Amino acid sequence: MKDNFPQALQMVLRHEGLWSDHRDDPGGATMRGVTLAVYREYLGRDVSKEELRNIPQEHLLNLYKTRYWDKARCDDLPAGVDLVVFDMAVNGGPGRAAKLLQIAVGATPDGAIGPKTLAMVNAEDPTELVKKFSDERRAFYKALPIYATFGKGWLRRVEEVESEALKLVGDKS
């Protein structure tokens, strides 16, 4: 939903933390949720881990808006649904977020949110859609081979984001 980006970003950043370079994380070196590979792509050049550690706030905000919020078409989603989709786009990629949304609404999961998916989203009750999407997200994480390492944190994140999203669904003012 338009105007929800700042609030959604605050929620996402609560979960993204600061610096991480866990050997079992396929994302590798990450600062505030931005991986080294994503930052290199964004800047169009090689970037050191130290440079990523010092990512300017302006770059961070622009990356979250353009690479995740906009790619997942969150401005076009109902309040609450936008948050769960955005958070998954950040944590699992916009294509994966789109596929989970499509599965939740019964659309063909092609990884791109287009007019057909949006029509199906708008035909759903937002409260139920937040719950279905969150259930799909849990199932996705549980099927990953690194679930034993990161699963507890992922499931806590899903619970917290789902709870915040349900509040947004109820607050349509």
CATH number for the domain running over 5-170: 1.20.141.10
The answer to whether 113 and 72 are in contact (CB under 8 A) is yes
Average pLDDT over residues 131-156: 95
Phi/psi-derived region of residue 78, left when phi > 0, alpha when psi is between -120 and 50, beta in every other case: beta
> What pLDDT is stored for residue 25 in this prediction?
80
The answer to whether 73 and 118 are in contact (CB under 8 A) is yes
pLDDT band at 173 (very low <50, low <70, confident <90, very high): very low
Q: Among 19, 43, 21, 22, which residue's Cα sits nearest to residue 32? A: 19
> What pLDDT is stored for residue 105 in this prediction?
98
Is the pTM of the predicted complex or chain greater than 0.95? no
Q: Which residues contact 70 (CB under 8 A, 6 or more apart)?
A: none
Q: Hey, what are 128's tokens?
A: 């139920």
pLDDT of 144 strictly over 60: yes
pLDDT band at 172 (very low <50, low <70, confident <90, very high): low
Q: Does an H or E element contain 41, and which?
A: helix 36-43
> pLDDT tens digits, residue range 87-102?
999 999 999 999 999 9
The answer to whether 87 and 15 are in contact (CB under 8 A) is yes
The Cα 172–Cα 29 span in angstroms is 38
Q: Where are the domains of the chain?
A: 5-170
Q: How many CA atoms lie within 13 A of 3 on its CB side?
A: 4
Task: Tell me the torsion sign for CA atoms 88, 90, 91, 93.
Answer: positive
